[in-house]
Amino acid sequence: MTTWPLHGLRLGCREVSLRPVREADLPALAAILPADFEQDPRLELFPGLSDEHNQRRLFYQGYWKALGTWSPSSWVLHFAVAYRGELIGVQTLEGDDFPVLRTVDSASWLVPEVRGRGLGVAMRTAVLGLSFDHLGAVAAVSSAVAGNAASLGVSRRIGYTDNGVGLIAVPGGGVAELQHLRLTAEAWQTAGHGRTVTVDGLEPCLPWFGLI
């Protein structure tokens, strides 16, 4: 029996393949972390580090925190995304009170060189296929600052609909508008996106999601 079966999980959608980030991936992924990937603005920055160094440090700590605090009632799964044999970004899937709420949230980033060719849609579709067709999710939510056309574009392309707006504090003291979106299991099934997704290695992971 594998003690940590999540490392054996494999997802695919069209040209991208996804596997959970491993500690050995951290240097390579941190080295390609794009400048426009926004960490949670509530995270503390170390004054002695450059912005870039803080971003990379927070990326490492996000990985360790996700593994160290995993429980079926609160989990964060970071997937390394590969395309043509290269790591190109990270797709994150999250669930809070998932056994009860059956709702997932997501976040992602890609290196700038491969954006705009549908890979953002493919990697989000992969984790939604896992969520709706294998974990029994009833809804997926997403949020993006109002000016993030690429993130909103991914959500709308897949069929999320607007679910209200909120405000978020930004570094330096300002406030930004956050667009919330939601996709139901019914809309996902009607669109038939799941046909493009492959999921392997899930069965031993089911207790991690509170499903056995």
Ligand X SMILES: CC(C)(COP(=O)(O)OP(=O)(O)OC[C@H]1O[C@@H](n2cnc3c(N)ncnc32)[C@H](O)[C@@H]1OP(=O)(O)O)[C@@H](O)C(=O)NCCC(=O)NCCS
CB of residue 32 to ligand X, shortest distance in Å: 11
Tell me the window of 103-111, 133-141, 171-179, 183-191 that interacts with ligand X (CB under 6 A). 103-111
CB of residue 51 to ligand X, shortest distance in Å: 16
Tell me the window of 29-37, 45-53, 133-141, 173-181 that interacts with ligand X (CB under 6 A). 29-37
Nearest CA-CA partner of 133 in 63, 52, 195: 195
Q: Which of 150, 165, 169, 170 lies at the binding interface for ligand X (CB under 6 A)?
A: 150
Around Cβ 161, how many Cβ atoms within 10 Å? Answer: 11
Residue 95 or 205: the one with the smaller Cβ distance to ligand X is 95
Around Cβ 125, how many Cβ atoms within 10 Å? Answer: 25
Q: Which of 5, 118, 194, 210 lies at the binding interface for ligand X (CB under 6 A)?
A: 118
Alpha helix stretches (DSSP H) within the chain: 26-31, 51-68, 98-101, 119-133, 149-158, 185-191
DSSP state of 41: T
Question: To which residue do tokens 């995993």 refer?
Answer: 70
Q: Which of 157, 168, 185, 206 lies at the binding interface for ligand X (CB under 6 A)?
A: 157
Q: Report how far residue 134's alpha carbon sits from residue 109's, in angstroms, rounded to the nearest whole number.
A: 24
Q: Which residues bind ligand X (CB under 6 A)?
A: 34, 36-37, 107-110, 115-121, 144, 148-151, 153-154, 157
